[in-house]
Amino acid sequence: MIILYFTDFESVGTEQIETMLSWMPQQQVELVRSMKTLSRQREQAVSYAMLAYALQHNMEQVTGDEIVVMPFEATQLLEAIPDPPTWAVAEHGKPYLTNRSGVFFNISHCRESIVTAVSSREVGIDVEGRRRFSDTLLQRSFNDEEQALVRNAEDQELEFARIWTRKEAWFKYTGTGILIDHLKSTEKEAQAANCQIITTWVNDRFWLSVAKSSVTSE
């Protein structure tokens, strides 16, 4: 499994997005253009470029789990892709490829980064920087042990974000969307489903959590 992340937002303006659109299939062009703001268009375009880049280099077949930066230059040099990937979204928003079999991917973004995981198995991914939270949200969403970890943390917003990415990654793995009644039990549910959740602090900027099957290793 390969995990690509992108943080060079300032390099991607309207001109760069148009370059990416020039080699995307029409379905993806329409999706990007439907976004109302530059930041949302950037997120959509870069996410697609990351997926295309990973597939072009067969990165879903990488042994083990690798987290690598997506260079900006790569977003501008993909015009020669044969049979470019197309995706659709399931009922609860989980994307899936419509012209590839045996390849799974998931995307996420926050103010600090855009991330894409590409794998030969089902996968869910979430990314968060420091995240504000209310006591109500903490009590409603976290179990007693998790609440204690946040309350006792030196940086409570970072600890909240770390745990939250794990919950999001699990729900994105299952494709159900966030189930309010299950927020407190995500770790047990993931373990029971033989799903491993791996969390990494990347570039001293953001938390990255990936949920994947723990039955076999890539």
Per-residue model confidence (pLDDT) at position 70 = 92
Residue 52 falls inside a structural domain? yes
Give yes or no for residue 217 having a pLDDT over 70: no
CATH number at residue 24: 3.90.470.20
More confident residue, 27 or 164: 164
Residue 41 falls inside a structural domain? yes
Per-residue model confidence (pLDDT) at position 80 = 65
Give yes or no for residue 157 having a pLDDT over 60: yes
Are 149 and 100 part of one and the same domain?
Answer: no
- Band (56; pLDDT cuts 50, 70, 90): confident
Are 100 and 190 part of one and the same domain?
Answer: no
Q: What is the mean pLDDT of residues 81-90?
A: 85
- SS3 track for 68-131: EECCHHHHCCCCCCCCCCCEEECCCCCEEECCCCCCEEEEEECCCCEEEEEECCCEEEEEECCC
Per-residue model confidence (pLDDT) at position 23 = 87
Residue 63 falls inside a structural domain? yes
> Considering the chain, what is the average pLDDT of its residues?
92
Residue 17 falls inside a structural domain? yes
Q: What is the mean pLDDT of residues 179-194?
A: 95
More confident residue, 191 or 84: 191
Residue 209 falls inside a structural domain? no
Are 93 and 142 part of one and the same domain?
Answer: no
Are 174 and 93 part of one and the same domain?
Answer: no
- Band (57; pLDDT cuts 50, 70, 90): confident
Q: What is the mean pLDDT of residues 57-84?
A: 83
Give yes or no for residue 81 having a pLDDT over 60: yes
- Candidates 163, 162, 200; CA nearest to 183 is 163
Are 6 and 81 part of one and the same domain?
Answer: yes
Per-residue model confidence (pLDDT) at position 74 = 83
Give me 57's structure tokens.
């280099």
Are 13 and 93 part of one and the same domain?
Answer: yes
Give yes or no for residue 182 having a pLDDT over 90: yes
Are 111 and 10 part of one and the same domain?
Answer: yes
Any idea how long the chain is? 218
Per-residue model confidence (pLDDT) at position 71 = 85
Are 109 and 17 part of one and the same domain?
Answer: yes
Q: What is the mean pLDDT of residues 171-200?
A: 95
Q: Name the pairing type of β-strands 95-97 and 123-128.
A: unpaired
Residue ranges making up the domain that contains 37: 2-121
Are 136 and 159 part of one and the same domain?
Answer: yes
Provide, rounded to the nearest whole percent, the portion of the chain with pLDDT above 70: 98
Give yes or no for residue 15 having a pLDDT over 90: yes
Q: What is the mean pLDDT of residues 141-167?
A: 97
Give yes or no for residue 218 having a pLDDT over 50: no
Are 105 and 150 part of one and the same domain?
Answer: no
Structural contact between residues 119 and 65, judged by C-beta atoms closer than 8 angstroms: no
Q: What is the mean pLDDT of residues 156-181?
A: 95
Residue 95 falls inside a structural domain? yes
Number of domains in the chain: 2
Are 103 and 189 part of one and the same domain?
Answer: no
Are 102 and 135 part of one and the same domain?
Answer: no
Residue 150 has a CB neighbour count (10 Å cut-off) of 20
